[in-house]
Structure 1
Amino acid sequence: MDKAQKVLRRSSIRLKSISSGHAELNMIVSDVDHMRGTAKAFLRAQQTLVEDLMDWANKEKNLAIQETLALLAELSLLWSETQKDFIDQLKTFKLQFDMILEGERSVDKIRAQLTAYEQKASKLKKDLQKNSVSSVDETKRVESKLDEVKLSISRAQVEVSEQVSENEVVKLIRLKEGLSKLSDYYLELAFKCNAIFDAHRAVVAEIPAGQEKSTNIQNIIYTGSKFSKAHVLQAKEKVKNYKQSSAVRSTAPYDISSSDKPPPYSPNIAQDGSFTSVRSSFGSPAGSSVTSPLPVSEVSQDIYTSHRYDHVSETVHSFNPHLDEVNPDSMRYENIAGPSTNNERYHNIEPLPYGFRTGTPTTIYEQNVAGAMTNMTLK
């Protein structure tokens, strides 16, 4: 059935293009429309599956099944929005070929006008050669008209030449722009798909399962709710903070040895009162960074008066963007016994200059930062 519909659709496009031409361009535009329609149908099929899964889960009395599928439904909603964005973005790709087709039609219109002038001139020449005019005055009138047509032909030839040259340049520009954007759309779709279904797999991994068929269901405990929610939140943040590859990014690592940079224990406060930090971006490749200005009020609130480790970690990242992000897996094992303030790794919290607090240094970079602060205190 699908194959027959495809043949029918393409045949109708070719028939419509017999008079106007450009069957290939018309086929491309039709293919993009068909692609969008197919993507919408696939999206609706996925949504139907998720709805049926939720209906089944709501009738189950198993908490693990209910919470897991509820979280997967959130991820499914995020994935549906991502696919809708991609389907809408295909409109832009189609628009480029619509404009290419419009340019070709404009050239065809000018060429048709030139052909009409040439046919008219040919007819007038035949009339003069056959001596079909009845008088000298009539002959002069036809000759004058022929001269006017020849002048129109010359102008039309120049216009056709200019229009063809301009159209070829514009065609290349539109083709490059359309295909480049299509690449960006697929890269964005792939990145978001990876982020969403990484979280999807992590949530599914939290489902408890007995090792043997004889395992008592009462002995199976579902403890993954908190960590599953963390994976979902992380996926949402990645999708939200995604930046396309065409965005301007700074790829140079922060050099703390440079003389024009502030020391690692001092925030980078500009003369205009803004705070600039270097933070890793979810949409950026490893090692790249983006700068974000913050008001001094937010700097005071988040850094000078806050003693929570997550803000200290953020500050350390602002000076070393290559530190690994804290992921839910590592958080799970560090925080399994309680909040981060009770974590053994950070139990030895001491005040440091400028209101910073940090735990026992665990990396060479943290040791260097702590050493610099200690030396300044001794001085």
Structure 2
Amino acid sequence: MDKAARAVRRSSVKLLSLGGCHGDLNVLISEVKDMRNTAKAFLNAQNAASQDFLKWASNEENRAIQDVANQLAELNLAWSEIQREFIEHIKEHKRMFEMVLEGEKHVFQAKNNFVSCEQREYKIRKEIKKAFKKASSAELQILENRLLQAERAKDLAQIEVGDRHQENEAVKLIRIKDGLLKMSESYIDYAKKCSVIFEAQRDIALQLPDVHDQDLHDIKYTGSGTTKFVVQEAKEKVRQYRRKSDNLHQSPHQSTFEPPPPYSPGEYITSDTSLYSSPSFTSNSEVSPRRPPNSLSSQGRQNTLDDDAVWDSDYEEDLTGAMGGAKI
């Protein structure tokens, strides 16, 4: 049923675009719109499931399940806000294609104007040819003036087509590049924040006690403080990431990676398309004398630090210390 509805929607968009030569672009915009609507539906479904889980857990007698459900519902609020932010980026992505379509329409209008001027000139030439033997000199003079005006209008329309086309191609390239970069950054932010939220969810789920080979009445739940801390930590990490990403103005191709001393950047740059090469080895599988044997692990540690560099390093606390050494 969904496939049929999608096929009907795409066909209707193409039919509405007949005569405008922008059918594919209109279908693309329609698909991005559908992508945003699907993301909103997924968000609503998650919220409904979270509320149903909380409602069910509140009627349970198990205190561990109640606490975990409460903290997961709190965590879901932060996750919902992240998704709403991402959905807004999809809306901006759709707006970018709509602006491209607007520029294409301007070029299309300029081309139509040129065709109209060309047809008008052709029509006047035919009139002059028919009236050459019958019309008076005054009438011929009028027709010739009309022809000169039509030729001038055609020349101006042709110039406008060239200018509009050149300007539109430049602006289109700028908008497409900027839009794709912003959407890529949005997906990266979304993935990073998703990792934070669901790593926290995993840590909360781990606080549920194990009941293997134990009497249920002898098991005590001591993870309520930890689950609260995990939720607050996840919220703080998301907030810190949002603040850092908003202040980020560095272009994607500019890397802040610096090789560890005493090596120079030239040793890491190769002639191939990759920016940094892996540690070089000699033909007999021995480590090159230019790098000590532990250079590989040092680079690995550096890459690991680079992956997590977006998070605020000042917000690193020991879980056990924060919970006052509570046993979990």
TM range (shorter): 0.7 to 0.9
Aligned in 2, Cα 1:216/1:286: closer, same or farther, shift over 3 Å? closer
**Structure 1: how far apart are the matches of 2:117 and 2:247?**
48
**Structure 2: how far apart are the matches of 1:333 and 1:71?**
16
Greater relative contact order (CA < 8 Å, ≥ 6 in sequence): 2
Contact 1:89 1:185 in 2 (8 A): yes
Partner SS state of residue 75, structure 1: helix
1:66-85 alignment runs, 5 A limit: 66-85=66-85
Deviation by residue 1:138-197 (Cα, 9 ceiling, x = unmatched) = 111011000011011111111111110010000000000110010011011101100000
Residue in 2 aligned with 1:87?
87
Deviation by residue 1:93-131 (Cα, 9 ceiling, x = unmatched) = 111111100000001111111111100000011111223
2:317 pairs, out of 308, 322, 326, with: 326
Once the two structures are TM-superposed, the CA of residue 3 in structure 1 deviates from its matched residue by 0.3
Residue in 2 aligned with 1:125?
125
Partner SS state of residue 212, structure 2: coil
Amino acid across the alignment from 1:52: D
**Structure 2: how far apart are the matches of 1:333 and 1:116?**
78
Residue in 2 aligned with 1:188?
189
Residue in 1 aligned with 2:46?
46
Contact 1:184 1:244 in 2 (8 A): no
Once the two structures are TM-superposed, the CA of residue 216 in structure 1 deviates from its matched residue by 2.0
Aligned in 2, Cα 1:227/1:26: closer, same or farther, shift over 3 Å? same
Residue in 1 aligned with 2:22?
22
Once the two structures are TM-superposed, the CA of residue 246 in structure 1 deviates from its matched residue by 7.2
Aligned in 2, Cα 1:20/1:251: closer, same or farther, shift over 3 Å? closer
**Structure 2: how far apart are the matches of 1:186 and 1:206?**
30
Contact 1:251 1:289 in 2 (8 A): no
Amino acid across the alignment from 1:42: F
**Structure 2: how far apart are the matches of 1:251 and 1:143?**
69
Deviation by residue 1:193-246 (Cα, 9 ceiling, x = unmatched) = 00000000000000012112xx32211111111111111111000111113287
**Structure 1: how far apart are the matches of 2:169 and 2:63?**
63
Residue in 1 aligned with 2:224?
225
Aligned in 2, Cα 1:187/1:207: closer, same or farther, shift over 3 Å? same
Residue in 2 aligned with 1:147?
148
Aligned in 2, Cα 1:192/1:9: closer, same or farther, shift over 3 Å? same
Once the two structures are TM-superposed, the CA of residue 285 in structure 1 deviates from its matched residue by 4.2
Aligned in 2, Cα 1:246/1:183: closer, same or farther, shift over 3 Å? farther
Deviation by residue 1:260-288 (Cα, 9 ceiling, x = unmatched) = xxxxxxxxxxxxxxxxxxxxxxx984457
**Structure 2: how far apart are the matches of 1:145 and 1:246?**
61
Residue in 1 aligned with 2:206?
205
Structure 2 residue 129 is the aligned partner of structure 1 residue 134 = no
Residue in 2 aligned with 1:335?
325
Partner SS state of residue 142, structure 1: helix
1:231-246 alignment runs, 5 A limit: 231-242=230-241, 243-244=244-245
**Structure 2: how far apart are the matches of 1:125 and 1:64?**
91
Amino acid across the alignment from 1:175: I
Aligned in 2, Cα 1:331/1:208: closer, same or farther, shift over 3 Å? same
Aligned in 2, Cα 1:287/1:80: closer, same or farther, shift over 3 Å? closer
Residue in 2 aligned with 1:156?
157
Residue in 2 aligned with 1:96?
96
Amino acid across the alignment from 1:110: A
**Structure 1: how far apart are the matches of 2:51 and 2:227?**
20
**Structure 1: how far apart are the matches of 2:206 and 2:58?**
20
**Structure 1: how far apart are the matches of 2:157 and 2:325?**
78
Q: TM-score, normalised by structure 1?
A: 0.68
Once the two structures are TM-superposed, the CA of residue 326 in structure 1 deviates from its matched residue by 2.5
**Structure 2: how far apart are the matches of 1:49 and 1:146?**
73
1:206-285 alignment runs, 5 A limit: 206-212=207-213, 215-242=214-241, 243-244=244-245, 247-248=248-249, 285=307
Greater fraction of residues in strand: 1
**Structure 1: how far apart are the matches of 2:104 and 2:29?**
14
**Structure 2: how far apart are the matches of 1:86 and 1:93?**
11
Partner SS state of residue 211, structure 2: coil
Q: TM-score, normalised by structure 2?
A: 0.78
**Structure 2: how far apart are the matches of 1:241 and 1:75?**
16
Runs (5+) with no aligned partner, structure 2: 259-304
Amino acid across the alignment from 1:143: E
Partner SS state of residue 94, structure 1: helix
Contact 1:252 1:288 in 2 (8 A): no
Partner SS state of residue 114, structure 2: helix
**Structure 1: how far apart are the matches of 2:67 and 2:116?**
73
Once the two structures are TM-superposed, the CA of residue 336 in structure 1 deviates from its matched residue by 3.0
Number of equivalent positions: 275
Residue in 1 aligned with 2:166?
165
Runs (5+) with no aligned partner, structure 1: 254-282, 291-316, 319-323, 338-379
Q: Which has the larger radius of gyration?
A: 1
